[in-house]
C-alpha cells in the first residue's frame, strides 16, 4: 500500500515515465487514395508540387489589359482599347496582348501573355465594333489571382500528423495529391476483467452487470483514429487473465485492461503486466480523480495499461494516456488541439491540491455566457457521462473553483487533448 502511494504520479510525470521506455514514434505510414483519407493523419508533410491556380486568372468578368494603359483613365477621359480576342474559361489564350489592346475575359479565365490586370465590365463602355473605353484605371495585378497566389510550388502545405478534414481533401485535390502517406491506425487490444462482468450480449444474472468498458473503449478508439480489438471479459483468475493479456499483447500495438487495477481483493493485473516483459509496470497510480488506480506499463516498447473499472475513470485514464499515442505516436509530440470553451461554473467545487480533478459538465447558454453545470453523483454512475457536453479540469495545485468563475471546458466531439 505504502509503495503504491509513493509511486502515484502526476499526469505529466506518468507520460514522462512511459516516454522513457517507448520509441519516439509508435506508428508507421501507408499510402491511400485521397478520398479514403478523411479523418486520417498525415505520415509525412505534404509539399506542393505545383502552383495553384497555376496561371494568372481573372477574378471578374471584363477585359484583360496592361494596367499601365489604363493609368489616368476616367469617365471624362476614358482610355481607348482595341478588343483583339475573347478568352473563355478553360482555354489558354493563343496570342499575346499588345499595348493598347484588350481581350474580353470571363471570371476564372486565363490572362493572356502581356496582360497584368483585368477591368470589370462595369467600368467599360463599348466604343464601336471591336473597341471599348475604360472609365477607371486598374493597378498591376488588380482583379487577378496570380499563378502562385493561392499555393506556391515547393511550400509545405500540411505538416506531418495533420488531421485531414473535408476542406483539406479539397485542397489536396487542387494540388493533384491523389495519394497520400497517412498514419496506420494503432491497434488497441481491449480486455475487461471482473467476476461481476458479463458480455453485453448475455443477460446478467443477479449480482452481475454487463461489461461496458469494452464497448465504450472500442468506440472511443475508433473516434481517435485507432483500430480496436475486443478480447472480451475474463474472470479475475490470474492464469486466464495472463493468457488473454499475452494474446492481446502479441496481436496489438498497445493493450488496455480495465477493471483489475483497483486496490482490491483480487488484483493480479500488475503482476501479470510485470511478468510479460521489461520494464513492466512503470507506475502504480496517477494523481487524478477519477482514475487514481491506473497502472502504466511498457513491455518491450509496447504500452500496456491497467485502467480502473469504473467507466468514467477508465475513459478518463484512456483519454490521458492512450489518446496522445493514437493521435501523435508519442507523448513528446502532443499538440493540444481544439481550444476549450469558456464556461461559467454554476457551483463551487472543492479539490485536494496535489491531484487533478476532472468534472463532467453540461453546458447551457445563460445571460449571454455559457453556464457549465457540473454533473456530480455517486462514483460508478454512467449517466453523468452521457448527460455531459464536455469535461473540465481543476489543476494539480488548485483547491477548487468558486461558483461563478470562468472555467475551461473541453467539448466532446472536438479534437482536444487533455
Question: Which residues ranging from 8 to 67 are in contact with its own copies (CB under 8 A)?
Answer: 34-35, 38-39, 52-55, 57, 59, 61
Report if residue 139 touches its own copies, rule: CB under 8 A. Answer: no
Environment class of 53 (CB within 10 Å of its CB; exposed 0-12, middle 13-18, buried 19+): middle
Name the segment binding its own copies (CB under 8 A); options: 2-10, 77-85, 124-132, 216-224.
216-224
Site string for its own copies, 324-343 (x = CB under 8 A): --------------xx-xx-
Task: Pick out residues in 344-373 that bind its own copies (CB under 8 A).
Answer: 363, 365, 370
* Residue 147 vs residues 90, 358, 407: alpha-carbon distances, Å: 15, 51, 47
Minimum separation from the CB atom of position 282 to its own copies (A): 26
Report if residue 124 touches its own copies, rule: CB under 8 A. Answer: no
Report if residue 1 touches its own copies, rule: CB under 8 A. Answer: no
Report if residue 165 touches its own copies, rule: CB under 8 A. Answer: yes
Report if residue 206 touches its own copies, rule: CB under 8 A. Answer: yes
Report if residue 182 touches its own copies, rule: CB under 8 A. Answer: no
Name the segment binding its own copies (CB under 8 A); options: 75-83, 130-138, 193-201, 268-276.
193-201
Q: Are 361 and 342 in contact (CB under 8 A)?
A: no
Report if residue 378 touches its own copies, rule: CB under 8 A. Answer: yes
Site string for its own copies, 221-240 (x = CB under 8 A): -xx-----------------
Please say which residue, 25 or 50, places its beta carbon nearer to its own copies: 50
Name the segment binding its own copies (CB under 8 A); options: 17-25, 257-265, 296-304, 346-354.
257-265
Please say which residue, 69 or 236, places its beta carbon nearer to its own copies: 236
Report if residue 145 touches its own copies, rule: CB under 8 A. Answer: yes
Report if residue 114 touches its own copies, rule: CB under 8 A. Answer: no
Please say which residue, 297 or 311, places its beta carbon nearer to its own copies: 311
Name the segment binding its own copies (CB under 8 A); options: 122-130, 260-268, 350-358, 393-401.
260-268
Task: Pick out residues in 71-110 that bind its own copies (CB under 8 A).
Answer: 88-93, 106-110
Please say which residue, 299 or 391, places its beta carbon nearer to its own copies: 391
Minimum separation from the CB atom of position 369 to its own copies (A): 8
Amino acid at each position: 500500500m505504502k509503495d503504491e502511494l509513493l509511486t502515484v504520479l502526476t499526469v505529466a510525470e506518468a507520460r514522462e515515465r512511459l516516454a522513457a521506455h517507448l520509441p519516439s514514434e509508435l506508428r508507421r505510414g501507408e499510402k491511400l487514395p485521397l478520398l479514403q483519407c478523411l479523418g486520417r493523419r498525415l505520415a509525412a508533410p505534404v509539399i506542393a508540387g505545383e502552383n495553384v491556380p497555376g496561371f494568372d486568372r481573372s477574378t471578374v468578368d471584363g477585359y484583360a489589359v496592361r494596367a499601365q494603359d489604363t493609368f489616368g483613365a476616367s469617365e471624362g477621359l476614358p482610355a481607348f482599347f482595341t478588343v483583339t480576342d475573347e478568352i473563355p474559361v478553360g482555354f489558354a489564350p493563343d496570342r499575346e496582348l499588345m499595348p493598347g489592346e484588350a481581350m474580353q475575359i470571363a471570371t476564372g479565365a486565363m490572362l493572356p501573355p502581356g496582360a497584368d490586370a483585368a477591368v470589370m465590365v462595369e467600368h467599360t463602355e463599348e466604343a464601336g465594333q471591336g473597341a471599348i473605353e475604360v472609365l477607371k484605371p486598374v493597378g498591376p495585378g488588380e482583379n487577378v489571382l496570380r499563378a502562385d497566389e493561392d499555393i506556391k510550388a515547393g511550400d509545405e502545405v500540411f505538416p506531418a500528423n495533420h488531421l485531414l478534414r473535408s476542406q483539406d481533401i479539397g485542397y489536396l485535390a487542387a494540388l493533384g495529391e491523389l495519394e497520400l502517406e497517412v498514419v496506420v491506425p494503432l491497434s488497441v487490444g481491449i480486455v475487461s476483467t471482473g467476476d461481476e462482468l458479463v458480455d453485453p450480449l448475455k443477460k446478467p444474472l443477479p449480482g452481475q452487470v454487463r461489461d461496458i468498458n469494452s464497448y465504450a473503449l472500442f468506440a472511443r478508439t475508433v473516434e481517435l483514429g485507432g483500430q480496436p480489438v475486443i478480447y472480451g471479459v475474463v474472470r479475475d483468475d490470474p492464469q486466464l487473465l495472463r493468457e488473454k493479456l499475452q494474446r492481446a499483447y502479441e496481436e496489438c500495438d498497445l493493450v488496455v485492461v480495465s477493471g483489475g487495477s483497483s486496490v482490491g481483493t483480487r488484483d493480479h493485473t500488475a503482476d501479470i503486466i510485470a511478468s510479460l516483459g521489461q520494464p513492466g509496470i512503470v507506475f502504480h497510480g496517477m494523481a487524478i480523480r477519477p482514475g487514481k488506480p491506473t497502472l502504466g506499463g511498457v513491455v518491450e516498447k509496447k504500452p500496456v495499461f491497467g485502467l480502473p473499472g469504473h467507466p468514467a475513470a477508465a475513459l478518463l485514464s484512456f483519454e490521458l494516456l492512450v489518446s496522445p499515442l493514437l493521435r501523435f505516436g508519442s507523448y513528446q509530440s502532443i499538440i493540444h488541439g481544439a481550444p476549450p470553451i469558456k464556461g461559467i461554473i454554476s457551483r463551487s467545487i472543492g479539490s485536494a491540491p496535489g491531484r487533478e480533478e476532472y468534472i463532467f459538465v453540461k453546458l447551457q447558454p445563460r445571460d449571454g455566457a455559457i453556464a457549465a453545470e457540473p454533473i456530480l453523483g455517486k462514483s460508478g454512475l454512467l449517466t453523468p457521462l452521457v448527460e455531459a457536453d464536455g469535461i473540465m479540469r481543476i489543476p494539480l495545485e488548485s483547491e477548487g473553483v468558486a461558483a461563478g468563475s470562468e472555467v475551461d471546458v473541453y467539448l466532446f466531439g472536438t479534437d482536444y487533448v487533455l
